[in-house]
């Protein structure tokens, strides 16, 4: 069975009030009533404080996820939320390894691997973010950076778990900017990811890993960032704050 394409909205630390989020859900619901995706999954990852509202809204065609978890199951870890807690609320996805987590919270390969294992153990689907900085790209280190991030993250992950992992290529220099890699550059990284995974896993297992592009994704750029390089979907940042826009992105991908 062919896996569906996937569009994931990372709302980051937005919006700032419950009222705004309820308005967002209302608009998202109205947009989804106009659309019925056959080949594409739409996942929204709001701040965890809004997760229950998203799940309870039960918008047809919309799945829920979170932007981060802690790697322990439970215990004395003030301020943290476990994958098991997220799962119990009804979410199905969790982002891990985002460049902002690496930058602002010092998350390294070891931490990301721990989180990835916890996500999989709980029965959630992991959305693993990888990507290089502009300096690394200029130094022609993209391949080495991608391979290192994958090797660290997948350390100790069994082949049977791969179908529950989505890998999102998010070049750091494209996140939150209007700079974009070309279709060929995205395709090059796609090949690097495939080759890197092939060094660790059997070919049949690798086929189950969906590869996304993320970083300044907009509806008018879907062809360049997803369709031309034959990616399995996109991870959307700021544009996910506009229901019309993220549904439009999903619609374009679903129609191809």
98 included as an active-site residue: yes
Q: What is the DSSP string of the chain?
A: -PPPEEEEEE--S--SSHHHHHHHHHHHHHHHHT---SSEEEEEE--GGGHHHHHHH--TTEEEEES--BSSSSSS-TT--BHHHHHHTT--EEEES-HHHHHHH---HHHHHHHHHHHHHTTPEEEEEE---HHHHHTT-HHHHHHHHHHHHTTT--GGGGGGEEEEE--GGGTTSS----HHHHHHHHHHHHHHHHTTS-HHHHTT-EEEEESS--GGGHIIIIITTT-SEEEESGGGGSHHHHHHHHHHHHT-
170 included as an active-site residue: yes
Q: Which of 100, 107, 132, 170 is catalytic?
A: 170
Q: Which of 41, 98, 100, 132 is catalytic?
A: 98
Give the catalytic positions in this structure: 98, 170
């Amino acid at each position: 069975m062919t896996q569906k394409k996937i569009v994931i909205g990372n709302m980051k630390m937005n919006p700032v009030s419950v009222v705004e989020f309820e308005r967002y859900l209302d608009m998202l619901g109205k947009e989804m009533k106009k659309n019925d995706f056959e080949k594409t999954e739409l996942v929204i990852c709001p701040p965890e404080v809004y997760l229950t509202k998203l799940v309870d809204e039960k918008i047809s065609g919309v799945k829920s996820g979170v932007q981060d978890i802690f790697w322990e199951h439970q215990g004395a870890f003030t301020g943290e939320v476990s994958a098991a807690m997220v799962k119990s609320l009804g979410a199905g996805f969790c982002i891990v390894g985002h460049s902002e987590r690496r930058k602002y919270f010092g998350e390294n390969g070891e931490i990301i691997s721990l989180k990835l294992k916890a996500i999989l153990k709980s029965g959630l689907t992991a959305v693993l973010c990888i990507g290089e900085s502009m300096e690394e790209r200029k130094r022609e280190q993209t391949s080495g950076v991608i391979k290192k991030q994958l090797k660290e993250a997948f350390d100790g992950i069994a082949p049977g778990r791969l179908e529950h992992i989505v890998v999102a290529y998010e070049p750091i220099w494209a996140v939150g900017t209007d700079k974009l890699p070309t279709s060929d550059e995205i395709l090059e990284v796609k090949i690097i990811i495939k080759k890197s995974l092939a060094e660790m896993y059997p070919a049949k297992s690798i086929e189950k890993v969906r590869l996304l592009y993320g970083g300044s994704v907009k509806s008018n750029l879907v062809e360049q960032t997803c369709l031309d390089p034959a990616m399995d979907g996109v991870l959307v940042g700021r544009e996910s704050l506009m229901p019309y826009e993220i549904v439009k992105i999903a619609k374009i991908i679903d129609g191809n």
